[in-house]
Amino acid sequence: MASFTGRCSVFWLLLAILHPFTPVATGEQEQLEPLSFEPLHCERIDGEALRRWIASEPGARRLCSGTPSCDRVLMCDCQKTTISDQQAAFTLPPFEATTVATDILIRNCGQLHVPTGTFRALRSGFLPRTVRFLNIEQLTLESFAFEITSQSRVPNPDPRDRHPVLGPIELHFERCHIEELPANVFHGAGLRSIQFSSASSIGVVRPLAIGIRLRQLTFRDSAIGRFARHAFKRAQMEELLLQNVTMHDSWTSQGWQGVVVAETIRISDSTFLQPILPAAITESSTNELVLQNNVFNASMADEAFQLAVTSRVSMIGNVFGQLSPNLFRGLTISNETAWNAQPTLVLERNQIDELVVPGSSAAVGSSSFFHIPRNFTVNLQSLRIAELATCDSTNLAGASQWQQEIFFLRPFAVSGHDDPESYISIEEFRQQEGCDATGPDLVLIIVLSTLLGVTLIGGLIGGFVFYRHQKKRQRMLLLEQGLVHPAPRTYRETQIMLKLETVGTLKTDF
């Protein structure tokens, strides 16, 4: 009993000593507690093991379908690293200088952290052809995570390679959720192309995140929160592709600033839920801009694309929630074209729910068509404007040559806005309603109306003058009738009467 009491006393003494230093586990402290990352184990597969792996996994065939096919694969699989807890957080350890692999595959991670300098030690001449991140629920990338300090250019480049100055690495992100792409994340990486695909998502692309030189940058079957200002500043590439992308936030002004795309900027089959702000693409240049089969739910601002174009701007099969006639005002001809070049503006099968006309510049009772940049040729086919056709709304200034290709909603249309049968061309509607009666008949009507008006006014004035004259004459007659007139006599009779009156007076006096 004494020993038990002694042990209890020692226990309480130790508890009293340690109590001030024991942290209290609150909910807030649990949230702020740093997450510990386990190093991810990687293994190399080649030879017979690689052939068995390719035969057993369908995804491996796609990974190794290129030419030349993969010879040595360095696989980093989170599910194989730990069995007890597949949702553990991992960090990708730095690759050693002795790493030799044609392809690197990192996959099946709940949380994965790629710190700065992970690829820094890789030697030039032994760089992988592909680096693929596959099926990662939360991927955290740090700035300069893919930087390679050694010269990424191959010592003896392939003479058929169109881009010997670029690195050989093709970087793929498939089914990955990335909260943000930080600044300079791809700087010095020796990359040839970057692709986000297969239901990947990016929260925000930070400034200078993609300020590098590439052959191709692709966002396919993915979701993007927003582009920060200067996200693509100083980026140079041949192709910039957005295909089947959903963008949840507004496209920020200067989001794509200073982008140089040698061949094509192509945005297709994508949905933009928020407005496209002015100068979303600015101080940039490309050979061709293509917007095809996209849905812009909100407005697209004036001069949203301030872009120098070499050959063509194509807008085909798009749906715009709200559009301004000044959309193309920011387009210019690139200085790299010939002095007499005329880029083409192609507008085919587009639908505009609301065409916003600036009130200050529009004439009363008319609307303005698109501002066409100088020296651009226009090819317009089947432009549908989801507004009710009236003589005023269809009076588009500057669109007389395309009246057969511009359509408005029919009055009393039964089907929806998406049905082409609900629309009527400007030419047909104005002929039916007589909005364009501008021929000789109208001139004759105007002349006759003017003559009739002058005649009526002259008749009114003449009638008024005649009435005044008659009234004055009647008044003079009445005055004449009111005067006392002496009886008419001859001169002799007047003398006799005067004498008689004088005599009569004298007799009376006597």
**Residue 319 belongs to some domain of the structure:** yes
The pLDDT, as a whole number, for residue 13 is 44
**Residue 294 belongs to some domain of the structure:** yes
| Nearest C-alpha neighbor of 164 from the set 175, 154, 150, 176 | 154
Is residue 172 within 8 A of residue 195, CB to CB? The reply is: yes
- Amino acid at residue number 146: F
Verify that 347 and 242 share a domain, yes or no.
yes
Beta strand ranges found along 304-398 (DSSP E): 305-316, 319-323, 332-333, 344-352, 367-368, 377-388, 396-397
Verify that 335 and 395 share a domain, yes or no.
no
Verify that 260 and 293 share a domain, yes or no.
yes
| Nearest C-alpha neighbor of 215 from the set 235, 186, 244 | 235
Verify that 404 and 313 share a domain, yes or no.
no
Verify that 336 and 423 share a domain, yes or no.
no
Low-confidence ranges of the chain (pLDDT < 50): 1-33, 67, 86, 152-155, 360-365, 510
Virtual torsion, Cα 395, 398, 402, 405, nearest 10 deg: -50
Verify that 235 and 375 share a domain, yes or no.
yes
* Tens-digit pLDDT profile for residues 426-449: 999 999 988 876 555 666 778 888
Verify that 333 and 400 share a domain, yes or no.
no
d(CA 277, CA 256): 12
The pLDDT, as a whole number, for residue 100 is 84
Q: 104: which strand partners? A: 74, 131
C-beta neighbour count of 238 within 10 angstroms: 20
Structural domains of the chain, count: 2
d(CA 486, CA 2): 170
Task: Give the domain range for residue 398.
Answer: 389-439
**Residue 58 belongs to some domain of the structure:** no
**Residue 291 belongs to some domain of the structure:** yes
Verify that 336 and 298 share a domain, yes or no.
yes
d(CA 139, CA 129): 21
Q: What are the residues whose beta carbons fall under 8 Å from the beta carbon of 357, sequence distance 6 or more?
A: 325, 367, 368
The pLDDT, as a whole number, for residue 27 is 42
* Tokens representing residue 492 in the block: 């002799």
d(CA 457, CA 459): 5
In eight-state DSSP terms, residue 463 is H
Verify that 349 and 424 share a domain, yes or no.
no
The pLDDT, as a whole number, for residue 62 is 66
Virtual torsion, Cα 459, 460, 462, 465, nearest 10 deg: 170
d(CA 47, CA 54): 11
* Tokens representing residue 114 in the block: 């790629």
Gap between the terminal Cα atoms of the chain: 189
- Amino acid at residue number 164: P
Verify that 243 and 373 share a domain, yes or no.
yes
pTM of full prediction above 0.95 = no
Verify that 339 and 398 share a domain, yes or no.
no
* Tokens representing residue 483 in the block: 């005067």
DSSP letter string, 101-125: -SEEEEEEEEEEEE-TTTTTTPPTT
Verify that 234 and 255 share a domain, yes or no.
yes
* Tokens representing residue 332 in the block: 């210019």
d(CA 110, CA 272): 29
Is residue 307 within 8 A of residue 331, CB to CB? The reply is: yes
The pLDDT, as a whole number, for residue 55 is 72
Q: What are the residues whose beta carbons fall under 8 Å from the beta carbon of 42, sequence distance 6 or more?
A: 74, 75, 76, 93
**Residue 375 belongs to some domain of the structure:** yes
* Tens-digit pLDDT profile for residues 352-390: 999 887 654 444 345 678 889 988 999 999 999 999 999
Burial class (CB in 10 A: 0-12, 13-18, 19+), 68: exposed
- Amino acid at residue number 120: R
Dihedral sign, CA of 76, 81, 86, 90? negative
The pLDDT, as a whole number, for residue 248 is 97
Give the CA distances from residue 29 to residues 15, 25, 87, in Å, rounded to whole numbers and listed in that order. 22, 6, 22
The pLDDT, as a whole number, for residue 125 is 80
DSSP letter string, 121-155: TPPTT---SEEEEEEEEEEEE-TTTT---S--S-S
**Residue 331 belongs to some domain of the structure:** yes
CA 37 to chain centre: 40
CA 423 to chain centre: 25
d(CA 35, CA 89): 8
**Residue 316 belongs to some domain of the structure:** yes
**Residue 264 belongs to some domain of the structure:** yes
The radius of gyration of the chain from alpha carbons, rounded to an integer in Å, stands at: 45
